[in-house]
Amino acid sequence: MKRGFLFILILVLIFAGCAPSQQNKTGYEGDFAEKGSDTDIASISNTYENTDSGEKEKIELQYAEIYSNIFSDESEKATRVVGKIEGVPVTAKEFELEALRVQAIGSEDVYSVAWNRLEICIYAKQLAEKYGISVDEDAMKQTDQNRKWIEEEKNGRATKYIHDLCNAYSMSEDEFWKLQYELMKRQLLASRVKQYLKEHNLPEMDNVFILSEISDEEYVVKTKGMKWESN
C-alpha cells in the first residue's frame, strides 16, 4: 500500500460546518478537551513526524477516535464560541478539531498554529466567494479517483484499513468519503485562491491582515496569548 498516499488521505481535519452528521453525544459536559478526557488531543503520545511507518496506522486510528469524540460532543462547553475570524464565529470543538490535526503531525505551539490555519481557511473561503472561485467539481473528481484507487487495490489491505478507520470515526464509508471531499475542497480552494491573488496582483493571504480575536480565556491561555486580538 502506498503509505504516502494514505498519509495525505487520512489527515481529515475539516473546515467548520463541513462534517457529515453523526450521532450526538451529550455526556462530556465539564470535561471537554480537558487532560485525560477522551477529547484530549494531547493523548496522542506520538506523532507522524517521529515514528516509523509501522506505527502510523495506530496513530491514525487513535486520531480518528479522538476526532469522533470531539466532533460528536454537543455539550455547552464544546459548542461555545471562543473567538471570531473575519466575523465568523469559531466554536471550541472547531478549534479543537483543527488543533488535533496539528498535534498529530507534530507541530509545536499547537493551538497558535491551529488558529492561524483557521484564519487562512475562513479567509480563503470568503475570498473565493468574492471572486467567484469554485473547486467543487475538481474536488469531487479527485476524491472519486482516490476512492476508486482504494477499492481497486488488489490485496485488499487498503480497503480493510478504510473500513477500520470508518469504525474509529463512527461513520459509514459514504460519510468518510464525504469527509475526504470536504478536505480536498479545502486544500484546493486555498491553493486556487492563492493562485488567483498572485495572477491579479492582489495582496496575499497573510494572517497579519486577517481580522480575528480569541475571546475565551481558556483558549487565550492555550494560544499563549497569541491572537487575543488582531487588527
pLDDT in tens, the chain (231 residues): 444 444 445 444 333 333 333 444 444 444 898 888 888 988 876 666 656 666 777 888 888 999 999 999 999 999 999 999 999 999 999 999 999 988 888 888 899 999 999 999 999 999 999 999 999 999 999 999 999 988 887 777 888 888 999 999 999 999 999 989 999 999 999 999 999 999 999 999 988 889 999 999 999 999 986 544 444
Per the CB < 8 A criterion, the answer to whether 144 and 150 are in contact is no
pTM above 0.85, yes or no: no
Range 193-199 contact pairs with CB under 8 angstroms and sequence separation of 24 or more: 193/124, 193/127, 193/128, 193/131, 193/133, 194/124, 196/127, 196/131, 196/133, 197/127
